[in-house]
């Protein structure tokens, strides 16, 4: 990753921040994108204070116009983008019969349309250079039904298939597009759903009434676990891998 230019969305926290740090530690110049400008500035400062190259670019991925402008600014300021990680995501839960229109729209605006906006802006530029790699962070829920997660699962399934189709369209241009699908990961997105400390145990041991089998490896993923998978798919070690779906969930989807 040394001396590459990488864009990471959702970089203000969770998996996005872990991916940004992993890239920066390995010598990449990282453009941090997130709509939380305050938290984004903190992440950028932490990385630069440690001697790494990271620049905050506050942006809302739900706006195609804003995304196009910020990717242009990244290339003008840092140079041609070599790597992209679509890590921005939101999670709202609830049964379909009571799910609000605004929650459905918000989930798809970030998790699916946001992936489209950023990928389009970056890949359009990568095509002229005939090189590049991107990874979209999806979810094991994209392929395994979960109660009260229909909107989230559907948005991630759409983002996954979008990324694979993007990879097919751009393989001839030397651009690789892959998917990493985490399961339960120790991030604020997950812990915000917990009522008490026992919720972590439930994620690990399973919830029969919700048809969840638990995690065979008997632990939650760390953001670093997901970041390591992302870095592999972005690296030259994965130079012959594209349109691949790598699940990082401790076996929770039973290999699906």
Q: What is the pLDDT of residues 216-225, one digit of tens each?
A: 999 999 999 9
Select which of 57, 104, 152, 162 is catalytic: 152
Distance CA 19, CA 83 (A): 12
Tell me the pLDDT band of 197, cut-offs 50, 70 and 90: low
CATH superfamily for domain 5-190+222-245: NAD(P)-binding Rossmann-like Domain (3.40.50.720)
Tell me the pLDDT band of 209, cut-offs 50, 70 and 90: confident
Cα–Cα distances (Å) from 49 to 8, 24, 45, in that order, read 19, 12, 6
Is residue 176 a contact partner of residue 134, using CB atoms and an 8 Å limit? yes
Q: What is the arithmetic mean of pLDDT over 136-143?
A: 97
Query: Which pair of tokens denotes residue 141?
Result: 């829920």
Q: What is the pLDDT of residues 25-62, one digit of tens each?
A: 999 999 999 999 999 999 999 999 999 999 999 999 99
C-alpha dihedral sign at 60, 31, 12, 121:
positive
Query: Which pair of tokens denotes residue 148?
Result: 């009260």
User: Burial, 109: exposed, middle or buried (Cβ in 10 Å; 0-12, 13-18, 19+)?
Assistant: middle
> DSSP letters along 122-169, please?
HHHHHHHHT-EEEEEE--GGGTS--TT-HHHHHHHHHHHHHHHHHHHH
* 211 labelled catalytic: no
**HSE (CB half, 13 Å, CA atoms) of 175?**
28
Q: What is the pLDDT of residues 98-120, one digit of tens each?
A: 999 999 999 999 999 999 999 99
């Amino acid at each position: 990753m040394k001396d590459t230019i990488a864009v990471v969305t959702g970089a203000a926290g969770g998996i996005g921040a872990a991916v940004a740090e992993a890239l920066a530690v390995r010598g990449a110049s990282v453009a941090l994108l997130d709509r939380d400008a305050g938290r984004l500035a903190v992440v950028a400062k932490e990385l630069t204070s440690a001697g790494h190259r990271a620049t905050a670019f506050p942006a809302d991925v739900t706006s195609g116009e804003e995304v196009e402008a910020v990717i242009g600014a990244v290339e003008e300021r840092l140079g041609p983008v070599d790597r992209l990680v679509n890590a921005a995501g939101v999670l709202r839960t609830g049964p379909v019969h009571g799910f609000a229109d605004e929650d459905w729209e918000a989930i798809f605006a970030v998790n699916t349309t946001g992936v489209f906006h950023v990928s389009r802006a970056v890949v359009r530029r990568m095509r002229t250079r005939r090189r590049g790699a991107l990874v979209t962070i999806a979810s094991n829920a994209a392929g395994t039904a979960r109660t009260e997660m229909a909107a989230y699962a559907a948005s991630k399934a759409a983002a996954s298939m979008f990324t694979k189709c993007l990879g097919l369209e751009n393989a001839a241009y030397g651009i690789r597009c892959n998917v990493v699908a985490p399961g339960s990961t120790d991030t604020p997105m997950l812990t915000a759903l917990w009522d008490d400390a026992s919720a972590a145990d439930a994620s690990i041991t399973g919830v029969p009434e919700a048809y969840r089998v638990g995690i065979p490896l008997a632990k939650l993923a760390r953001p670093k676990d997901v970041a390591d998978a992302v870095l592999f798919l972005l690296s030259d070690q994965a130079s012959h891998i594209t349109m691949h779906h790598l699940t990082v969930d401790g076996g929770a989807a039973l290999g699906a």
